[in-house]
Amino acid sequence: MKVRVPAACMGRRTGGFSLLEIVVVLAGIMIILAAVVMSWSSLMTNIRANNAMDQVIQQMRLARYTAVTDRRAIIVAFTTSPATIQISQVPAAGGAAVTLSTVPIAGAQFCTVSGLPDTPQGFGNSTAVSFVNALSPATPVPLTQFNADGTFGAAVGIPVNGTIFTCTPGQTNSARAVTILGATGRVRPYRWLNGAWQE
């Protein structure tokens, strides 16, 4: 017995995809995946840079808060390799400072990116951790500390302005900076975005 196929169905394709259609779809998927991978890499760089900057900000604000609360000077020391911030408290009776914490900065280093200008504060960018005497910029700064009145400097009445730069070497978009205004102890963050330092 023969089955008769209606003439209207004879010209129709009966399912499946051609090789050309499959290749086009796969090419589209590959393009999208490539874009996602490139965006992901840039996103991860920014996340690590922001985390490092946030750690610096947190330590600076904690040091200032502790100085004001305890009414004692808090010395802040920076080690570049590996990047760490050490916070020490000066005893009430004097003598050697007592270390309160040593915090490693994860995801970045204290470094500057070649060719980038100083922050709008203009505290200097000759080194990754740059501090200058606010009253006499040519005077070396032997010690940086938050004082009991909340100021940042070598001692009460000797304000020191400074900038702490972090980055991933060779990656301009990872550049971050944290400035400290000596007269008030204000901590301000900056990110390098679209060719300029932005808060």
Q: Which two tokens stand for residue 16?
A: 């499946």
Question: What is the span of the domain harbouring residue 116?
Answer: 45-198
Q: Which two tokens stand for residue 172?
A: 């301009």
Lowest mean pLDDT among 3-7, 115-119, 161-165, 176-180: 3-7
Residue 93 in domain: yes
Residue 122 in domain: yes
CA separation for the pair 107, 52 (Å, rounded): 6
Residue 98 in domain: yes
**Which helix (DSSP H) or strand (DSSP E) does residue 132 occupy?**
strand 129-133
| Residue 12, pLDDT above cutoff 70 | no
Residue 14 in domain: no
Residue 109 in domain: yes
Q: Which of 142, 148, 141, 139 is nearest to 185 (CA)?
A: 148
Residue 32 in domain: no
Lowest mean pLDDT among 108-112, 128-132, 139-143, 174-178: 139-143
What CATH number has the domain bearing residue 174? 3.55.40.10
CA separation for the pair 132, 138 (Å, rounded): 7
Task: Report CA-CA distances (Å) from 133 to 59, 85, 94, 99, 199.
Answer: 21, 20, 24, 25, 24
Q: How many domains does the chain have?
A: 1
Question: What is the reported pTM?
Answer: 0.76
Tell me the pLDDT tens digit for each residue of 28-71.
888 888 877 776 677 788 888 899 999 999 999 999 999 999 99
pLDDT mean across residues, the chain: 85
Residue 120 in domain: yes
Residue 119 in domain: yes
| Residue 1, pLDDT above cutoff 60 | no
